[in-house]
Structure 1
Amino acid sequence: MVVELAAARAAITALMARHHVPGLSVAVTDSTGLLHAEGFGLRELATRAPATPDTSYLWFSMSKIATATAAMRLVDEGRLDLDAPVDSLVPGFRARRGLPPVVRQLLDHTSGAPNPLPLRWVLPTDRAATEAAPAAAALLARHGRPRRAAGGPARYSNVGYLVLAEVIAAAAGQPFEDYVREAVLEPAGMSGTGYARPDAADSATGYVRLPRPLDPLLRAALPRGVTGPRCGGFVALESFRVVGAGYGGLVGSVTDAARLARLHLGDGEIEGSRVLRPETAQRMRDIRTPGRPFDLGLGWFRQARDRGARPSFVEHWGTGGGFWNAMRIYPGLDLGIVVMANTTRPYDHHALMKALREVFRP
């Protein structure tokens, strides 16, 4: 395995150079424990601080797996009905035509919710404590109603998961973030992950690779206080928080993210703590709903091009300003891989995961 791991490291380093990725952390797990975790490159260019397995990254939409897990735990507890009309819990989410959307359709992106570009759905960390909740409420007031008939092909929607967070809060009888923490993060042992930007020194700075003449456009596109200084070919982003915890608000390390993958590889159980019933965890990764750009299960997705992939997998990405992440599980191999990077542009995560998969499941 030593030789194979060295080859995988070389492949990851070459991939980072090809795609201009400043820093990247990976973790590999099975259902019983962490198999490997490592950092590559730099979490911060200006200080040359290295990325480590404990570096914190913004999860963006990879957070949706935690949100979906929380919803399905409520289902297991008999506190949420997947077939309940959404407007019975969130009165503003009413269809303009056709049947009323139900909770299940928020999970698999068939509710008809819109998906506006979330470019400005962030706040500088120093403003987030007082302004995050009103900003999220404003987003729901503006976008939080279906634009298409429910039940059609899946169309990925961040707004749908903003609404799902409201559904979870109503069913749980407590704030969404508190319920996710108590029902998912703590039982999974994800002690370093939450919805607030950590004060820890080992946090990644997000970067946008951009020609210098375009700097003013980036500053105009993002809220004031988010765009930071230039470092070579990259513009740094100041510390910020995502507005909308349910669709993309988590912040934490790749090793904590691997614990969430481990929970799902264990069919809802991790280290003796049961979060979901086995049949519920299996149901979440049953990809039945074709759509664009992804085919959907209840949280997990897969690109259409990967429908017949062998070995079979499900995954979820988390992409946004400064960060590009992916969590993938291979249930048949009992293997999960998470990669988190401080780059805005996509990179070949398929090749990276293939290289790591071949080390641990040759």
Structure 2
Amino acid sequence: MSPTPSTPPADPDLLAAARATVTGLMARHSVPGLTVAVTGPDRLLYAEGFGNADLAARRPATADTAYLWFSMSKIATATVAMRLADEGRLDLDAPVEELVPAYAARSGPQPRVRQLLDHTAGAPNPLPVRWVLPADADDAEVDAFARRVLARHGRPTRPAGGPARYSNLGYLVLAEAVSRAAGAPFPDHVRRALLAPAGMTGTGYGHRDDAASATGYVRLPRPLAPALRAALPAGIVGDRHGGHVALRPFRVAGAGYGGLIGSAPDAARLLRLHLSDGVVDGTRILFPESTRAMRTIVMPGRPFDLGLGWFRRPADRGARPGFVEHWGTGGGFWNAMRLYPDLGLGVVVMANTTRAYDHSALMAALVAAFAG
């Protein structure tokens, strides 16, 4: 498949090398399909699909293939929270319990909204393996499921203000705080405050009938397939295709921590907003200081050092060129998006595999082609 017509005058040899890096990684890690996108602060520079979005149908992955974002959704959640703060509708330094009364510490200082953003609010992080519902589940079912999770786990278990400890649950609480501050259901507010003004028209919290979505895959030996069926809710695990087991379309039950579904170019629009200090296609969504605060890594932690949304692995401290990123991983999908603020570049990679691959090598190769 050839690059999109929007490809700029990149170094042709380095771009060819980057594409070879992509296909080599896919072969080495048995990745069925993958889409990449590269953006500058004012336009999409490149997008291309590789391999297959669906193995059974031999349907190719394209630039516009939709993938489950999983935790890349947290950057959208953090962005709308920061926009509410910019508008004076959400006080980041207020106790969380003022908006979500159940999220209150039994002793010590009360967690603040800002601490949900940087994962220092003491939230637990139960494994979300079964936090999924079939694709035809409606918004009410998804919301009810998320509320049951909050009722069971939605209280701090560690003192607030300590080292960052990454937590999906914390972003479910943050989404609830955003919803109450905005006076609207969280998915509706994200659509109005971010997806629509940023032009992310192909991305949302459910599967679209007109979108060619990638099928998620788990590479698994045949004897372990029953264990996978037991681990996931009924009806999610599908047929085997060679060494891969397909997952039937599903929704993540928790919009705030991992619910978005959409394409790599749409994710690149979110990166563009952050590269341009809050503006995308002439529309201001965040104040410049808010985008900079989000990507300023100030909280050391495990397994990531955190800003107000963006993170970086401790092993990448001091990396040149400098970057911040966010991953989105779960059953059937492994994604990452990365900002290189000093270079004015953002890179997204989305793949329908559960296993990790060397996304850093892939991104470094693409950056070399476009950094000039």
TM-score interval for Structure 1 and Structure 2 normalised by the shorter chain: over 0.9
- CA offset at residue 117 of structure 1? 0.5
Partner secondary structure for residue 347 of structure 2: strand
- Deviation larger for 94-103 or 161-170: 94-103
> Which position in structure 2 is the counterpart of 1:193?
203
Which of 108, 122, 129 does residue 112 from structure 1 map onto?
122
Equivalent of 2:29 in 19, 31, 35: 19
1:136 corresponds in structure 2 to: 146
User: For the residues of structure 2 that align with 1:74 and 1:310, how far apart are their CA atoms?
Assistant: 33
Q: CA deviation at 1:304?
A: 0.3
Instruction: Specify which of 73, 81, 85 is matched with residue 71 of structure 1.
Output: 81
Could you say what secondary structure the match of 2:342 adopts?
helix
Q: Kindly state the Cα deviation for residue 357 of structure 1 after the two structures are TM-superposed.
A: 0.4
Paired residues of 2:310 and 2:324 also in contact (CA < 8 A): yes
Asked whether the 8 Å contact 1:128–1:241 carries over to 2, the reply is no
Q: Secondary structure at the match of 1:202?
A: coil
The separation in 2 between residues aligned to 1:194 and 1:157, in whole angstroms, is 22
Question: Where does structure 1 differ by over 6 angstroms across 4 or more consecutive aligned residues?
Answer: none
1:99 aligned residue (91, 96, 109): 109
For 2:240, the equivalent position in structure 1 comes to 230
Query: Of the candidates 326, 331, 334, which is equivalent to residue 341 of structure 2?
Result: 331
**Alignment partners' CA distance in 2, 1:191 and 1:139:** 29
SS where residue 337 of structure 1 aligns? strand
Deviations 1:207-251 (A, max 9, x none): 000000001000000000100011110000000000000000000
* 8 A contact 2:66–2:211 mirrored in 1: no
Q: Distance in 2 between matches of 1:129 and 1:72?
A: 24
Aligned length: 362
Q: Does 2:174 align with 1:158?
A: no
Identity of aligned residues (%): 70
| Aligned equivalent of 1:48 | 58
Q: Secondary structure at the match of 2:67?
A: strand
SS at the partner of 1:228? Answer: strand
Please give the alpha-carbon distance, in whole angstroms, between the structure 2 residues aligned to 1:280 and 1:201. Answer: 33
Rounded to whole Å, the distance in 2 between the matches of 1:65 and 1:294 is: 15
- SS at the partner of 2:36? strand
Residue 97 of structure 1 deviates from its aligned partner by 2.3
Q: Which amino acid is 1:304 matched to?
A: P
Q: 1-side partners of 2:160 and 2:87: how far apart?
A: 26
CA distance in 2, matches of 1:129, 1:301: 29
Is the CA contact (8 Å cut-off) linking 1:96 and 1:147 kept in structure 2?
no
Q: Which runs of 5+ in 2 are unaligned?
A: 1-10
TM-aligned CA deviation for residue 346 of structure 1: 0.4
1:20-68 per-residue CA deviation (whole Å, 9 max, x = no partner) reads: 1000000000001000000000000001100001000000000000000
- Deviation of 1:127 after TM superposition, in Å, equals 2.9
In the alignment, structure 1 residue 342 sits paired with structure 2 residue 352: yes
Query: In angstroms, what is the RMSD of aligned CA positions?
Result: 0.8
1:292 is aligned to 2:302: yes
The equivalent of 1:247 in structure 2 is 257
SS of the residue 1:332 aligns to: coil
How far is the alpha carbon of 1:7 from its aligned partner? 1.2
Matches of 2:35 and 2:347, distance apart in 1: 11
Matched, 1:37 2:44: no
**Partner Cα distance (1:249, 1:163) in 2:** 14
The residue matched to 1:333 in structure 2 has which SS?
A: coil
**2:192 corresponding residue in structure 1:** 182
> C-alpha deviations, 1:297-328, integer Å up to 9, x for none?
00000000111001110000000000000010
Tell me the secondary structure at the aligned position of residue 197 of structure 1: coil
Does residue 170 (structure 1) correspond to residue 180 (structure 2)? The answer is yes
Q: For residue 239 of structure 1, what is the amino acid of its counterpart? A: P
Shift of 1:82: 0.6
- Answer yes or no: is 1:357 the counterpart of 2:364: no
Structure 2 residue 222 is matched with structure 1 residue 212: yes
| In 1: Cα distance, 2:139 partner to 2:71 partner | 21
Q: Is 2:291 aligned against 1:281?
A: yes
- What corresponds to 1:309 in structure 2? 319
